[in-house]
Amino acid sequence: MVVITMLGKTLCIGVGSMGGALLRGALQHGVLKARDTHILVRREEQCKALTEELGVVGFTTLPNVNEYNTILLAVKPQV
Protein backbone atom coordinates (compact mmCIF):
# COMPACT_ATOMS: atom_id res chain seq x y z
CA MET A 1 0.00 0.00 0.00
CA VAL A 2 1.28 3.44 -0.92
CA VAL A 3 0.77 6.23 1.59
CA ILE A 4 0.99 9.78 0.31
CA THR A 5 1.92 12.41 2.85
CA MET A 6 1.92 16.18 2.57
CA LEU A 7 2.30 17.30 -1.01
CA GLY A 8 3.40 20.86 -0.18
CA LYS A 9 1.88 23.82 -2.02
CA THR A 10 -0.57 22.23 -4.43
CA LEU A 11 -2.60 23.45 -7.41
CA CYS A 12 -5.66 21.38 -8.38
CA ILE A 13 -6.73 21.97 -11.97
CA GLY A 14 -10.29 20.78 -12.52
CA VAL A 15 -12.46 20.40 -9.46
CA GLY A 16 -15.58 18.77 -10.89
CA SER A 17 -17.04 15.52 -9.60
CA MET A 18 -13.83 13.47 -9.71
CA GLY A 19 -11.42 16.27 -8.83
CA GLY A 20 -13.70 17.51 -6.07
CA ALA A 21 -13.90 14.06 -4.50
CA LEU A 22 -10.11 13.68 -4.63
CA LEU A 23 -9.60 17.12 -3.14
CA ARG A 24 -12.15 16.65 -0.34
CA GLY A 25 -10.62 13.30 0.59
CA ALA A 26 -7.08 14.66 0.58
CA LEU A 27 -8.10 17.58 2.79
CA GLN A 28 -10.10 15.39 5.20
CA HIS A 29 -7.27 12.89 5.61
CA GLY A 30 -4.50 15.46 6.03
CA VAL A 31 -2.74 14.76 2.74
CA LEU A 32 -3.33 18.42 1.83
CA LYS A 33 -3.69 21.46 4.04
CA ALA A 34 -6.29 24.01 2.94
CA ARG A 35 -3.86 26.91 3.39
CA ASP A 36 -1.40 25.27 0.94
CA THR A 37 -4.04 24.23 -1.60
CA HIS A 38 -5.14 26.31 -4.57
CA ILE A 39 -7.73 25.40 -7.19
CA LEU A 40 -8.27 26.43 -10.79
CA VAL A 41 -11.91 26.42 -11.88
CA ARG A 42 -13.37 27.88 -15.08
CA ARG A 43 -16.61 29.27 -13.67
CA GLU A 44 -16.47 32.12 -11.15
CA GLU A 45 -19.57 30.94 -9.23
CA GLN A 46 -18.18 27.44 -8.80
CA CYS A 47 -14.79 28.81 -7.78
CA LYS A 48 -16.35 30.99 -5.08
CA ALA A 49 -18.54 28.16 -3.75
CA LEU A 50 -15.59 25.75 -3.53
CA THR A 51 -13.28 28.24 -1.84
CA GLU A 52 -15.95 28.93 0.78
CA GLU A 53 -16.71 25.22 1.29
CA LEU A 54 -13.12 23.97 1.41
CA GLY A 55 -11.18 26.98 2.71
CA VAL A 56 -8.74 26.90 -0.21
CA VAL A 57 -7.57 29.67 -2.54
CA GLY A 58 -9.35 29.73 -5.90
CA PHE A 59 -8.45 31.03 -9.36
CA THR A 60 -10.35 31.26 -12.64
CA THR A 61 -7.18 31.98 -14.63
CA LEU A 62 -3.96 30.00 -14.52
CA PRO A 63 -1.57 31.25 -11.82
CA ASN A 64 2.23 30.97 -12.03
CA VAL A 65 2.72 27.19 -11.86
CA ASN A 66 6.35 27.59 -10.78
CA GLU A 67 5.07 28.45 -7.29
CA TYR A 68 3.73 24.93 -6.67
CA ASN A 69 5.33 21.71 -5.44
CA THR A 70 2.51 19.58 -6.84
CA ILE A 71 -0.05 20.04 -9.63
CA LEU A 72 -3.05 17.69 -9.74
CA LEU A 73 -4.82 17.42 -13.09
CA ALA A 74 -8.42 16.25 -12.78
CA VAL A 75 -9.94 17.25 -16.09
CA LYS A 76 -11.96 15.23 -18.57
CA PRO A 77 -9.95 14.05 -21.56
CA GLN A 78 -10.73 16.06 -24.67
CA VAL A 79 -11.31 13.41 -27.34
Per-residue confidence (pLDDT) for residue 77, from 0 to 100? 83
The answer to whether the CB of 44 falls within 8 A of the CB of 60 is yes
Structural domains of the chain, with CATH: 10-73 (3.40.50.720)
Distances (CA, A) of 1 to 4, 27, 58: 10, 20, 32
Quick one: pLDDT at residue 51?
Answer: 96
pLDDT in tens, 31-65: 899 999 999 999 999 999 999 999 999 999 999 99
pLDDT for position 4: 59
Average pLDDT, the chain: 90
Encoded amino acid at 19, one letter: G
Task: Give whichever of 26-30, 47-51, 75-79 has the largest mean pLDDT.
Answer: 47-51
